[in-house]
Amino acid sequence: MVSGVNLRKGGTLTIMRSCLEYLSGKTGEYRIVALVHRRELFDSPGIDYIELPWCVRSWALRLWAEYVTMHRISRQISREDGRKVWLWLSMHDTTPRVIAEHQEVYCHTSFPFMKWQLRDFRMDFKIPLFSMFTRWAYRINVHRNDCLIVQQNWFRDAMSGMLGVPVEKFRVIPPQQPSLERYMNSGTGEVCDRRLFLYASTPDCHKNFETLCEAARLLELETGPGAFRVLLTISGTENRYARWLKSKWGGVSSIDFHGFMTRDELFAAYRRAGTLVFPSRVETWGLPISEYLAVNTDGLVLAADLPYAHETSPDAVFFPATDAVALKNEMLRILESETTD
């Protein structure tokens, strides 16, 4: 049994798809049942799919699915097969109450370790509340698991300390980078611009765009307009947080609120940008860092001085996550070194 009923987009959905693709090749040996949001999100044959689309409508419904519905399903499957489910793999952080010989859980979210701010409640109250909620939700039934799967060593150590689970019960499995060859080949002849700073992310308040925007404002005061450009993958209209960013820093001429990019556009920006800036306050991995370094071998990374970034990009230049002055100084150093060269 594989449960991932709230996995609908992004890297978590990719991991779920990869898991089911692998298991699809084992259907001659095992019966594989997957609990998913919608069947249409997956194309792995030979698997029995059970849809639970309703459970994403609220946290209460999600908890009901985990601790009531899945228990009923596990009991039904056991009756059909005449024996207990051999392995129940939960792909979305929580440990369900099920009838199974073995249980394992894939821990994606690192939100329990986010240092939330009062402003987060004003921008999107769900994010700091989710940070608090996950600290509690991770604990429920966690000791039922034979194994907990995480992506980074720091996350293993932090989870072990928070949950009281021995580190020996964790497996660290970094995400596999899909082939990016076509994006590398299409960049032939493009020039890496050291004056271009890119931040590719979604308009969520924990992504910490404000530190980069303020650093750009301070840097422009020193260098004057036109000396550099900061390219953002938000337009400033998406939500309350994005509108606040645009209202406060929209007048900084060096900041380009470009907006959403297609995958081709994003990788073209990766190849052009001399520096990727990544100030996010919490991440499980930080996928844009890996993507950027894969297609821009001459690129530099300025990253928040947080454990996830040290593992994803150990050669990055680090700055305190909310210190705009420190980030401005690092950006200035890059501009000055370009002038010297």
The 10s digit of each residue's pLDDT in 245-293 is: 999 999 999 999 999 888 888 888 998 999 999 999 988 888 889 889 9
- CB contact set of 189 (below 8 Å; sequence gap of 6+): none
State whether 126 and 202 are in the same domain.
Answer: no
Residue 277's identity, in one-letter code, is: V
Cα dihedral value 289, 294, 295, 296, nearest 10: 70
- Of the candidates 150, 172, 194, which is a domain's last residue? 172
Taking residues 318-323, what's their average pLDDT? 95
Residue predicted with more confidence, 329 or 176: 329
Boundaries of domain holding 57: 2-172
State whether 160 and 187 are in the same domain.
Answer: no
Describe the chain by its helix, strand, coil percentages, rounded to 5.
45, 15, 35
State whether 96 and 207 are in the same domain.
Answer: no
Q: Give the pair of three-digit tokens for residue 91.
A: 């792909």
State whether 236 and 265 are in the same domain.
Answer: yes
State whether 168 and 187 are in the same domain.
Answer: no
CATH of residue 242: 3.40.50.2000
Q: Per residue in 127-152, pLDDT tens?
A: 888 888 888 889 999 999 999 999 99
Q: In terms of C-beta density within 10 A (0-12 exposed, 13-18 middle, 19 or more buried), how is residue 80 classed?
A: exposed
Please check whether residue 255 is in contact with residue 177, taking contact to mean a CB–CB distance below 8 angstroms.
no
The CA–CA distances, whole Å, from 300 to 169, 194, 218, 303 equal: 36, 9, 21, 10
State whether 195 and 336 are in the same domain.
Answer: yes
Share of the chain above pLDDT 70, in %: 94
State whether 34 and 86 are in the same domain.
Answer: yes
Q: Give the least confident one: 105-109, 118-122, 188-192, 331-335.
A: 188-192
- Of the candidates 148, 172, 196, which is a domain's last residue? 172
Tally of domains in the chain: 2
State whether 320 and 287 are in the same domain.
Answer: yes
State whether 185 and 300 are in the same domain.
Answer: yes
